[in-house]
C-alpha cells in the first residue's frame, strides 16, 4: 500500500515538492488561503509563487489544516523556520502516531538556535524527523530541469523507505544520516549567499564572488563540524552544492537580497518588496550567536550580520573583509 503524504505550506518550494510527491504517491497540500487551494485543485497552478508552472494533476489541495495532517502517513513541512514551532503546535492534535515529519526549511530558530529537526523532536516526540535539502531552486525543478537533493534522517531504514517518495526521473534523491550537517549546511549557506549577492550587486566581479563562496564554505565547515556535522557533508550536495546554487542564481531569494543591498538599498526596503522569506537575514544573527558560543571566527557572516541588523552597508562590509588578515589556506581558520 502506498504511503500518503501531506505538505504543509503552499509557497514555491512546498508546492514544488508536493507536485513531485503527487506523481509518486497520493498527496495533499495545505494552503493557508482557500483561493490558492482552489486554484491548485481546478487549474493545477499556483500563479502567485510559481507563475507559468503546471503542477501534477494528481495533487490535491485543501485549506483545512486538520484534514491535511490527518491524511498523512508522511508529513512534509514547507514553512519558514520562524513559523516552524507554531506550525507544529497547530498540527499536534491531528497528526497520527509515528508519522515521519520532514522539514523543507533552511534556517535556524531565532532565540534558541535550534535546527528544525530539534524543534520537531521537542514538539512531536516519537515522530521520526528529517530534512530534504540541497541545491534545489523550485522554479527549475517544477519546470523539469535535472536536479539532486538529500533526504537526511538518523534512521537508515526509514530514510531508505521514504526516498522513493521524493525521487523522480530527473530529480535524484540521495540519503544521509548526518542530519546535523545537512541542516546546518542549508542554513549557513543562505548567509553566504547574501554576501555573494552584495558583491554582484556592487559589480565586484567573478573573482570576488568565487572568493566569497570558497571562504564562506570554509566558515560553514568550521562551525558546522564543531557543532557535530561531518566535514564531508559540507563538501556535498547539502553544503557546497546548495551554496553554489544559492550564491549564483537569480532565482535565489537570499542572493537577491544581497544584490539589492549591493545596489545601495536598505534591508527594510528589500524585505518589504518580497512576498517570500529570505532565511539568511534572520539566520545571520543566529549564526553569529553560535560563532560566539563555539569561539569560531566567521568574518564573512559577521559582515552580513552587520548589514542586516546593525545598519552597515555592502560597501562597508567589503572594506571590513579587506581589513581581515589572511593566513595559510591550510589552517583551520
**74-87: per-residue pLDDT in tens?**
999 999 999 999 99
User: Same domain for 22 and 143?
Assistant: yes
Q: What is the CATH number of the domain that holds 199?
A: 1.10.1040.10
pLDDT at 327: 61
28 SS3 class: strand
User: Same domain for 161 and 194?
Assistant: no
Contact 238, 152 (CB under 8 A): yes
User: Same domain for 152 and 207?
Assistant: no
Total domains in the fold of the chain: 2
pLDDT digits (tens, 9 = 90+) for 186-225: 999 999 999 999 999 999 889 999 999 999 999 999 999 9
In a domain, 160, yes or no: yes
Cα 217–chain centre separation: 16
pLDDT at 318: 81
Catalytic residue (one of 4, 54, 189, 285) = 189
In a domain, 332, yes or no: no
pLDDT digits (tens, 9 = 90+) for 165-191: 999 889 999 999 999 999 999 999 999
Q: Which three cell numbers, joined as nine digits, stand for 75?
A: 508529513
Contact 251, 191 (CB under 8 A): no
In a domain, 316, yes or no: yes
Confidence of residue 303 (pLDDT cuts 50, 70, 90): very high
pTM as predicted = 0.92
Q: Give the domain-ending residue among 121, 153, 177.
A: 177
In a domain, 333, yes or no: no
In a domain, 63, yes or no: yes
In a domain, 329, yes or no: no
Note if 189 is an active site residue.
yes
In a domain, 173, yes or no: yes
User: Same domain for 199 and 153?
Assistant: no
In a domain, 272, yes or no: yes
pLDDT digits (tens, 9 = 90+) for 123-149: 999 999 999 999 999 999 999 999 999
pLDDT at 333 > cutoff 60? no
pLDDT digits (tens, 9 = 90+) for 53-108: 999 999 999 999 999 999 999 999 999 999 999 999 999 999 999 999 999 999 99
Q: Give the domain extent around 128.
A: 5-177
User: Same domain for 302 and 253?
Assistant: yes
Amino acid at each position: 500500500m502506498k504511503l500518503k503524504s501531506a505538505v504543509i505550506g503552499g509557497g514555491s518550494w512546498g508546492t514544488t515538492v508536493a507536485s513531485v510527491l503527487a506523481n509518486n504517491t497520493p498527496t495533499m497540500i495545505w494552503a493557508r488561503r482557500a483561493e490558492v487551494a482552489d486554484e491548485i485543485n481546478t487549474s493545477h497552478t499556483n500563479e502567485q509563487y510559481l507563475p507559468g508552472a503546471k503542477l501534477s494533476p494528481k495533487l490535491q489541495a485543501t485549506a483545512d489544516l486538520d484534514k491535511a495532517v490527518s491524511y498523512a502517513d508522511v508529513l512534509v513541512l514547507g514553512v519558514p523556520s520562524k513559523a516552524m514551532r507554531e506550525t507544529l503546535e497547530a498540527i499536534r492534535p491531528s497528526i497520527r502516531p509515528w508519522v515521519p515529519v520532514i522539514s523543507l526549511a533552511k534556517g535556524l530558530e531565532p532565540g534558541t538556535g535550534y535546527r528544525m529537526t530539534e524543534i520537531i523532536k521537542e514538539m512531536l516526540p516519537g515522530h521520526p524527523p528529517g530534512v530534504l535539502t540541497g541545491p534545489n531552486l523550485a522554479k527549475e525543478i517544477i519546470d523539469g530541469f535535472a536536479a539532486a537533493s538529500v533526504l537526511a534522517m538518523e534512521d537508515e531504514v526509514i530514510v531508505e523507505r521514504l526516498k522513493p517518495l521524493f525521487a523522480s526521473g530527473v530529480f535524484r534523491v540521495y540519503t544521509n544520516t548526518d542530519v546535523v550537517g545537512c541542516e546546518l549546511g542549508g542554513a549557513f549557506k543562505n548567509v553566504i549567499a547574501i554576501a555573494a549577492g552584495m558583491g554582484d550587486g556592487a559589480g565586484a566581479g567573478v573573482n570576488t564572488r568565487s572568493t566569497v563562496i570558497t571562504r564562506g564554505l570554509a566558515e560553514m565547515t568550521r562551525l558546522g563540524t564543531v557543532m557535530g556535522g561531518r566535514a564531508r557533508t559540507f563538501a556535498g550536495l547539502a553544503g557546497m552544492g546548495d551554496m553554489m546554487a544559492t550564491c549564483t542564481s537569480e532565482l535565489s531569494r537570499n542572493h537577491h537580497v544581497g544584490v539589492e543591498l549591493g545596489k545601495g538599498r536598505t534591508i527594510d526596503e528589500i524585505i518589504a518588496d518580497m512576498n517570500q522569506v529570505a532565511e539568511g537575514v534572520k539566520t545571520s544573527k543566529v549564526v553569529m550567536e553560535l560563532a560566539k558560543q563555539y569561539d569560531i571566527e566567521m568574518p564573512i557572516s559577521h559582515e552580513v550580520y552587520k548589514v542586516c541588523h546593525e545598519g552597515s552597508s555592502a560597501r562597508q562590509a567589503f572594506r571590513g573583509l579587506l581589513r581581515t588578515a589572511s593566513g595559510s589556506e591550510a589552517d583551520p581558520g
